[in-house]
Structure 1
Amino acid sequence: MAEIKYEIKETLGVLSENNKGWSKELNLISWNDREAKFDIRDWATEHEKMGKGVTLSKDELIKLKEILNDMDL
């Protein structure tokens, strides 16, 4: 399996943390030397391991924000 290269450009926020120390974070990440995108996923304490997540372009993040703002929470 090919190695996945990533660089966390900016940590934007921690959404939650579990009892094993992993945290669900919103970060700006460059994957495989590509343009950085917004990313939500679980990370181990030193970012040495990661869980499955979702990566969003700026336009997708804006659309998600609009949807969340329209929700009656």
Structure 2
Amino acid sequence: MAELKYEIVQHLATIAEGSKGWSKELNLVSWNERDPKFDLREWSPDHTKMGKGITLTYEEMQAVCDAFADFAENEELPEA
């Protein structure tokens, strides 16, 4: 199996922090020296380990943001 190379090009936001120090983050990440993509996943404190996540192109991220904006304008979240 080939080695996975990654570089966090830009940290955009920390979404949540877990009790064991891991944090859910939105970053721009270059995977295997390719163009960076938006990446949402959990990272260990030193960013040497990662959980499963999702990567999105700019266009895909824009579609997610548009869908959320439409939802937020027209819907109320149920109370927890």
TM-score, structure 2 length as denominator? 0.88
Greater strand fraction, Structure 1 or Structure 2: 1
Aligned-pair identity in percent equals 52
Unaligned runs of 5+ in 2: none
User: In the TM superposition, what are the counterparts of 1:1-73 in structure 2 within 5 Å?
Assistant: 1-71=1-71, 72=75, 73=77
RMSD: 0.7
Runs of 4+ in 1 over 4 A off after TM superposition: none
Unaligned runs of 5+ in 1: none
Rg: which structure is higher?
2
The residue type paired with residue 56 of structure 2 is: L
Give the count of matched residue pairs. 73
